[in-house]
């Protein structure tokens, strides 16, 4: 009787050890699988970071930081799929689009890249699971039989999870997603989701409209003939608020060349949300063969500034004094460019910043001829202390003189940004920029050419104001 009881105890203890062994290898395997899962893939020119994480409800999350996230209940297996959009390989994307005669061709290439990336990711996860099982087993024993069993068991469990996701995965779940952050305000997403239509179909329509408008605009601008620019003067091209409009760079290039601008000052808001994705679309700025001074606006974020500082022709001004053609320019970034928000600061907060800037200004040497800010409220208390203040932000063109300070706001060189290109009434939209003429000897502003280019018609208007 005693021997039988001892045998039962031994069997029970062996079962406990086996269960503990299994628990350890499974936990270690899954932990390594989650921790080491992040992998980077390029899908038809879109750079992504893919990972998995334990999530009771399962599902998929597509993130465009800091825009927000799109969540969809694509599967119920408690292993969530995460996709972070990190940027764009512009050369690859252009190549894909050039080889796609129709939108169907493009989405076939997307599907091909996505399937290839999914296979690679699945194999990676299985290998990580096997490695995790081996590591977990090594804590308990080094017998090869147990090590092999641990690896196979870990692969089997991971394989079951992945097969479950594959079997359940429902891409149509993205027609009824949960959208968080500013991403929810993007027109083609909100419209298509509210109407329960396919967002890809809506996006295709938007892209078609944008491409047609872009081609028409480029053709019209190419046909214009500007007047002969002022001779013997320093010429500064002042632009602002381009807001992701893909036509804006060709326009800036053309104006800077035809009007023989010596350098360019951009008063910010070159993007809408300052994401890495938007930053990756700015590579065309390298092609502008002029010194380009950039003052960050409230819509420009660290990812954008990091991208711009890598361009040899661009100088990002944030508390920095530069000298171009003998003209001293001091620029200060909008404080919101260092925050996650895009909403501008209140009048009270801006007034405090303007007072602080005025105190800093007293210690700057040599004294700047031009103060460049995104929001004029930052420079309000310096009116009368500096010859020229350039600003943007309001999308309203201004040329005025107050207390011997010339105040210039070029308006908006990007019109209404990307939304403009999806607007069938693009012909009514206006791009604005200024050419500032300085006398070489006195360095005084002698004239400002306010340039307007009207939408698709390409109607070119120039108004010269003498000062």
The pLDDT of residue 87 is: 75
Cα–Cα distance, 47 to 85 (Å, whole number) = 6
Cα–Cα distance, 48 to 306 (Å, whole number) = 19
Cα–Cα distance, 367 to 371 (Å, whole number) = 10
Residue 188 clears pLDDT 50, i.e. is over it? no
Contacts of 119 by beta carbon, 8 Å cutoff, 6+ apart:
none
| Top mean-pLDDT range of 101-105, 184-188, 407-411 | 407-411
Neighbours of 171 (CB within 10 A): 9
204 pLDDT band (50/70/90 cuts)? Answer: very low
Domains of the chain, earliest start first: 14-185 (no CATH), 223-466 (3.60.21.10)
Contacts of 420 by beta carbon, 8 Å cutoff, 6+ apart:
213, 245, 414, 426, 429
With CA atoms as reference, report the closest residue to 393 among 239, 244, 284: 239
Cα–Cα distance, 266 to 247 (Å, whole number) = 16
pLDDT (average), residues 398-425: 76
Residue 199 clears pLDDT 50, i.e. is over it? no
Distance of CA 331 to the CA centre of its chain: 23
pLDDT (average), residues 96-121: 80
458 pLDDT band (50/70/90 cuts)? Answer: low
Q: Which DSSP category does 424 fall into?
A: T
Q: Which helix (H) or strand (E) holds 212?
A: helix 199-222
Question: In DSSP terms, which residues pair with 69 in a beta bridge?
Answer: 63, 180
Residue 398 clears pLDDT 50, i.e. is over it? yes
The runs of H, that is alpha helices, within 331-395 are 347-361, 376-379
The pLDDT of residue 85 is: 84
Cα–Cα distance, 92 to 97 (Å, whole number) = 9
The pLDDT of residue 208 is: 46
Give per-residue pLDDT as tens, 248-274.
Answer: 787 788 888 888 899 999 999 998 888
For 48, half-sphere exposure in the C-beta direction (CA atoms, 13 angstrom radius) is 21
Give per-residue pLDDT as tens, 433-450.
Answer: 999 999 888 888 999 988
């Amino acid at each position: 009787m005693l021997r039988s009881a001892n045998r039962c105890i031994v069997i029970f203890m062996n079962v406990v050890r086996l269960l503990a062994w299994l628990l350890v290898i499974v936990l270690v395997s899954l932990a390594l699988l989650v921790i080491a899962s992040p992998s980077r893939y390029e899908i038809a020119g879109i750079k992504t970071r893919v990972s998995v994480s334990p999530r009771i409800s399962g599902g998929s999350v597509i993130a465009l930081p800091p825009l927000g996230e799109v969540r969809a209940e694509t599967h119920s297996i408690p292993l969530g799929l995460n996709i972070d959009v990190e940027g764009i390989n512009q050369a690859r994307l252009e190549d894909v689009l050039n080889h796609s005669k129709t939108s169907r061709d493009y989405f076939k290439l997307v599907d091909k890249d996505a399937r290839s990336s999914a296979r690679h990711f699945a194999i990676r996860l299985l290998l990580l699971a096997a490695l995790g099982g081996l590591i977990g087993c090594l804590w308990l024993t080094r017998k090869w039989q147990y090590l092999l069993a641990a690896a196979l068991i870990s692969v089997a469990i991971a394989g079951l999870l992945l097969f479950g996701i594959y079997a359940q995965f429902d891409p149509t779940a993205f027609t009824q997603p949960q959208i968080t952050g500013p991403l929810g305000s993007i027109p083609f997403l909100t419209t298509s989701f509210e109407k329960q239509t396919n967002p890809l179909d809506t996006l295709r329509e938007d892209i078609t409209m944008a491409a047609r408008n872009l081609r028409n605009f480029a053709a019209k601008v190419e046909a214009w003939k500007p007047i002969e620019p002022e001779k013997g003067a320093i010429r500064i091209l002042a632009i602002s608020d381009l807001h992701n409009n893909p036509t804006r760079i060709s326009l800036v290039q053309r104006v800077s060349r035809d009007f023989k601008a010596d350098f360019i000052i951009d008063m910010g808001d070159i993007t809408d949300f300052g994401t890495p994705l938007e930053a990756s679309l700015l590579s065309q700025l390298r092609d502008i063969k002029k010194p380009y001074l950039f003052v960050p606006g409230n819509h420009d974020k660290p990812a954008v500034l990091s991208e711009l500082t890598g361009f040899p022709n661009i100088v990002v001004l944030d508390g920095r004094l530069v000298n171009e053609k003998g003209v001293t320019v001091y620029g200060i970034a909008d404080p919101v460019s260092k925050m996650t928000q895009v909403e501008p600061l209140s009048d009270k907060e801006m007034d405090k910043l303007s007072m602080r800037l005025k105190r800093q200004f007293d210690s700057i040497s040599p004294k700047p001829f031009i103060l460049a800010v995104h929001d004029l409220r930052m420079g309000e208390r310096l009116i009368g202390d500096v010859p020229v203040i350039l600003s943007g932000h309001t999308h309203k063109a201004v040329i005025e003189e107050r207390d011997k300070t010339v105040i210039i706001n070029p308006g908006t060189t990007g019109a209404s940004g990307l939304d403009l290109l999806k607007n069938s009434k693009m012909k009514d939209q206006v791009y604005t920029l200024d050419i500032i003429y300085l006398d070489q000897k006195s360095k005084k502003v002698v004239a400002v050419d306010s340039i307007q280019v009207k939408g698709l018609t390409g109607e070119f208007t120039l108004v010269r104001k003498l000062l």
